[in-house]
Chain A
Amino acid sequence: MNSIPPHLLWTVIAGLTLGSFALRFGFIGFMGGKPIPDWLMRHLRYTAVAIIPALVAPLVVWPAPTGGDPSLMHFAAGAVTLAAGYLTRNVLIGLGTGGLCLLLLYLAA
């Protein structure tokens, strides 16, 4: 399986390297002591918690393993992962619990 063309991969790596560095360096490198405006800070706080759910929602509702057909098994495993991650505040416990749940449902089905 080699679906990602190498030129795309390396362009993505180069673009993300430069882009991430610019984001990290922007303020500490150039802004000196100037404060960052409140409205900007307020939006920056919610970008990751918006983009990642937006990315994952279609992947859970129309899962790839079934070819995109809604599947109760995958939805349940997804819900358990989110709940376990939220309750324990621990990414690995969330992933472990959800993965185990998917495996058990798969074996039971």
Chain B
Amino acid sequence: MAITTTKSAFWKGFRDSAPFVFMASPFGFLFGVLAAEAGLIVPEAFAFSLAVFAGAAQFTALQLMQENAPLIIILLSALAVNLRMAMYSASLTPYLGDAPMWQRAIAAYFIVDQSYALSIVQFEQEPKMPLAQRMAYFFGTNGLIAPTWVTATALGALVGTRIPESWGVDFVLPLAFLAMIGPMLRTPAHVVACFVAVAAALPASALPYNLGLIVAGIAGMIAGAQAELWLERQKTKQEHGK
């Protein structure tokens, strides 16, 4: 279905994002529950989700705050998890970079995995889409997801304060991280990055101030980048060999 107006572009984005609500609501809810378990009150959990608006980074900060990690390590680690947002921002620039500054500033806040993934597919499929419609589509993809994420967090925090500590939900956060890793392992290079990071993290956890996390994260990142280069070289060699 071709998009004809700015308004219909917004609603197309809105509809396309609907399936992601089934992901955002339980995950936002879980963040709220775990935040409450960590001692956050409902307004704190709500403000956290509203201001930061980045699931994986919020879970990372929550875990490290509970480990009494130093402030700088908490910030560095959670922002490192969010570095992919810079990649999304760069990749959206050819499509949205000519919009007025105020629109770009608001759009930047709304760059998340879902809005990026949906928008980049839409923009590549319809290269002739006018700028205003692209922007409307991008905002549409967040029309449902953003309110869902924030509301679900508040509800989760509300419920979380009523869950007795004896239920032992303290292993749910590690399981949530593990569940996030699975879908990230898209290529052999991602698998290399993951396993090098794990192999480095175990001995490095002996380092003070949770520095091991940063060391292992950098090791995994470099390993992933090198693996990608190596795999590309192998591919070129094979093609030349034919």
Contact = CB atoms under 8 A, between A and B. Distances in A.
A52 B180 contact: yes
A32 B90 CA distance: 9
B71 interface: yes
B185 A31 contact: no
Give the contact-size bracket for chain B: 35 or more
B18 interface: no
A13 interface: yes
A86 B74 CA distance: 27
Interface in A30-76: 31-33, 36, 39, 41-65, 74
Interface in B50-65: 51-54, 56-58, 60-61, 63-65
Interface string B84-99: 1111111011101100
B117 interface: no
A50 B219 contact: yes
A45 B223 CA distance: 11
B65 A12 contact: yes
A78 B22 CA distance: 23
Contact of B66 (A3, A17, A19, A26): A3
B193 A20 contact: no
Given A9-B65, A28-B89, A50-B216, A82 B81 contact: no
Given A4-B39, A16-B78, A58-B205, A89 B220 contact: no
Contacts of A9: 40, 44, 65
Interface string B154-197: 00000000000100101111111111111111000110011111
A65 B195 CA distance: 25
A20 B65 contact: no
A32 B93 contact: yes
A23 B80 CA distance: 10
Contact of A61 (B22, B196, B202): B202
B171 A51 contact: no
Contacts of B216: 50, 54, 57
16 contacts: A3-B68, A15-B71, A16-B51, A24-B111, A28-B89, A28-B111, A31-B93, A47-B84, A48-B82, A49-B190, A49-B220, A51-B60, A59-B63, A82-B178, A89-B183, A91-B23
Interface of A: 1-4, 6, 8-9, 11-17, 19-21, 23-29, 31-33, 36, 39, 41-65, 74, 77-78, 81-92, 94-95, 98-99, 102
